[in-house]
């Protein structure tokens, strides 16, 4: 079977017809059995803006654009799900449900937020999709009594190297991270149960660090990500799909599974409802940096799974235009994107094809 995955999607107006055509025509020789995407904005007119750096929302009427993309399920457990508080989240949930848009990763309580979506491929393969979030603004985690997103929390510490700091004063310390064991244990247990009742389990993870925030003395991944990936694969996950960093991150095969640490952006309209600099948390705005360079490069990824084994990943490189909408990358752009993936993923082989696509193999 073929699972098509797209990265971060934030819609704030009607989507151009060509976007849907691109999504469903990419990699012409491959027809996906299941399409999954990440919904990165609250669809709401309710609530009050959270006290955080980046706060945005989209009119609930824009659910029509999400629906038109014809994804089978959307992961919505993100750091923006509660940008407009619990009222904003609840309206988002109601909007998606009333329009028949399937989602995972958030709910009226923890049980609902962790509920998997079960799908069936045309060949009869049963698939479970579940979503966890490690990028958690204060108060956004669901509990037994509170709406929110499905949490997989992370503990963070700062590592100081005295000798280096003496020699390089003013340099950045190393940030070390590890998953909260209770959350990871519960996530692994959930995946193990889904693996026992489904042929394929897809775990969507909203995690990682966007490049403007990444310390220059660290690689593209935070420590906790590979720990989490290994545990979830050991529990039975066949495919891990990462979002949040708004840039392409490594691809790694672990046993029979594949981990896509981040797919980058697929579509990201400039928000018409963002707070002014005066109203958001007082901190230097990251937008001049964030929405440049790697922000605009992404890929539609087709994962080939046979008998529970992730065989390969086919990449269709895309580039966002000035309106935040994707187009297929030209040869030069595709080469740049595929070379970036290869440079970050030393344990895989990226084979570029004549038409600018790429195949990632073990």
How far is Cα of residue 243 from the mean position of the Cα atoms in its chain? Answer: 2
Q: What is the pTM of this model?
A: 0.95
Range of the domain at 254: 2-361
Q: Check residues 212 and 190 and name the one with the higher pLDDT.
A: 190
Q: Are 266 and 361 in contact (CB under 8 A)?
A: no
DSSP secondary structure string, 256-268? TEEEE--B-EEEE
Q: How far lies 106's CA from each of 49, 116, 132, 230, 262, in Å?
A: 18, 11, 9, 24, 20
Please check the confidence at residue 296 and state whether its pLDDT lies above 70: yes
Which structure tokens are listed for 241?
């799909």
Counting Cα atoms < 13 Å in the Cβ hemisphere of 349 gives: 5
The span from the CA of 261 to the CA of 208, in Å, is: 8
Q: What mean pLDDT comes out for the span 219-234? A: 96
Band of pLDDT at residue 44, cut at 50, 70 and 90 = very high
Q: What is the CATH number of the domain that holds 264?
A: 3.60.21.10
Q: Tens digits of per-residue pLDDT, 69-126?
A: 999 999 999 999 999 999 999 999 999 999 999 999 999 999 999 999 999 999 999 9
Neighbours of 26 (CB within 10 A): 23
Q: How far lies 70's CA from each of 7, 63, 67, in Å?
A: 15, 11, 6
Q: Tens digits of per-residue pLDDT, 205-224?
A: 999 998 888 877 788 999 99
Please check the confidence at residue 194 and state whether its pLDDT lies above 80: yes
Q: Check residues 356 and 1 and name the one with the higher pLDDT.
A: 1
Please check the confidence at residue 348 and state whether its pLDDT lies above 80: yes
Band of pLDDT at residue 258, cut at 50, 70 and 90 = very high
Q: What is the pLDDT of residue 357?
A: 83
The span from the CA of 174 to the CA of 209, in Å, is: 14
Element at 197 (helix H, strand E): helix 181-197
Please check the confidence at residue 29 and state whether its pLDDT lies above 80: no
The residue behind tokens 């790697």 is: 294
Share of the chain above pLDDT 90, in %: 76
Q: Of 80-84, 168-172, 197-201, 324-328, give the lowest mean pLDDT range.
A: 168-172
Q: Are 242 and 259 in contact (CB under 8 A)?
A: yes
Beta bridge partners of 178: 155
How far is Cα of residue 202 from the mean position of the Cα atoms in its chain? Answer: 12
Helices (H), 198-330: 223-235, 287-290
Band of pLDDT at residue 355, cut at 50, 70 and 90 = confident
The residue behind tokens 């064991």 is: 181
Q: Tens digits of per-residue pLDDT, 116-157?
A: 999 999 999 999 999 999 999 999 999 999 999 999 999 999
Counting Cα atoms < 13 Å in the Cβ hemisphere of 179 gives: 25
Q: Check residues 355 and 313 and name the one with the higher pLDDT.
A: 313
What domain count does the chain have?
A: 1
Average pLDDT, the chain: 92
């Amino acid at each position: 079977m073929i699972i098509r995955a797209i990265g971060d999607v934030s819609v704030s107006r009607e989507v151009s017809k060509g976007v849907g055509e691109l999504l469903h025509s990419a990699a012409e020789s491959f027809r996906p059995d299941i399409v999954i995407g990440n919904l990165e904005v609250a669809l709401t007119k309710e609530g009050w803006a959270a006290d955080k750096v980046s706060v945005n929302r989209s009119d609930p009427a824009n659910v029509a654009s999400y629906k038109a993309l014809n994804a089978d399920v959307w992961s919505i457990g993100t750091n923006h799900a509660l940008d407009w508080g619990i009222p904003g989240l609840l309206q988002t949930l109601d909007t998606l449900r009333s329009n028949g848009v399937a989602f995972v990763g958030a709910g009226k309580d923890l049980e609902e937020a962790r509920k998997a979506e079960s799908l069936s491929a045309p060949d009869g393969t049963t698939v479970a999709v579940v979503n966890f979030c490690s990028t958690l603004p204060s108060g956004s985690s669901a509990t037994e009594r509170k709406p929110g997103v499905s949490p997989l929390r992370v503990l963070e510490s700062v590592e100081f190297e005295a000798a280096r700091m003496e020699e390089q004063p003013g340099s950045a310390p190393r940030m070390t991270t590890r998953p909260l064991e209770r959350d990871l244990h519960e996530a692994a247990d959930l995946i193990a149960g889904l693996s026992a009742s489904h042929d394929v389990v897809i775990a969507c993870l909203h995690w990682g660090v966007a490049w403007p925030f990444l310390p220059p003395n660290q690689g593209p991944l935070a420590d906790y990500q590979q720990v989490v990936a290994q545990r979830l694969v050991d529990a039975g996950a066949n495919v891990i799909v990462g979002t949040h960093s708004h840039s392409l991150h490594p691809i790694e095969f672990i046993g029979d599974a594949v981990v896509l640490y981040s797919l980058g952006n697929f579509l990201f309209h400039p928000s018409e409802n963002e707070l002014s600099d005066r109203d958001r948390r007082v901190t230097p705005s990251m937008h001049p940096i964030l929405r440049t360079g790697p922000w605009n490069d992404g890929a539609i990824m087709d994962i080939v799974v046979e008998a529970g084994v992730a065989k390969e990943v086919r990449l269709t490189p895309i580039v966002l235009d000035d309106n935040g909408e994707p187009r297929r990358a030209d040869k030069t752009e595709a080469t740049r994107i595929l070379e970036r993936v290869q440079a970050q993923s030393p344990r895989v082989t990226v084979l570029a094809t004549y038409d600018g696509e790429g195949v990632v193999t073990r």
